[in-house]
Amino acid sequence: MGFLEVLTLIFIALKLFGVIAWSWWLVLLPVIISAAIYVIILATVGVGFFTALRKFDDFD
């Protein structure tokens, strides 16, 4: 379990016990950030893969 996931669990516990009065989107923001990072990495790898595949196809 990574840092952002642990931070999310801590924020959820604090929200449920009434320690913080943040909105739920702020409580879940670490999950949103990690999901955005994963999407950016996936898109970068995908673009790189298809670019390499296209260059490989041009050698035929």
pLDDT at residue 12, as a whole number: 97
C-alpha distance across the termini of the chain, in Å: 45
pLDDT at 17: 97
Query: Going by C-beta distance under 8 Å and a sequence separation of 6 or more, which residues neighbour residue 41?
Result: none
List pLDDT tens digits, range 4-58.
899 999 999 999 999 999 999 999 999 999 999 999 999 999 999 988 888 776 6
Quote the pTM value. Answer: 0.70
* Range 17-44 burial, b when 16+ CB lie within 10 A, else e: eeeeeeeeeebbbbbeebeeeeeeeeee
Domain boundaries, the chain: 3-57
Q: Nearest-CA neighbor of 27 among 9, 48, 43, 45?
A: 9
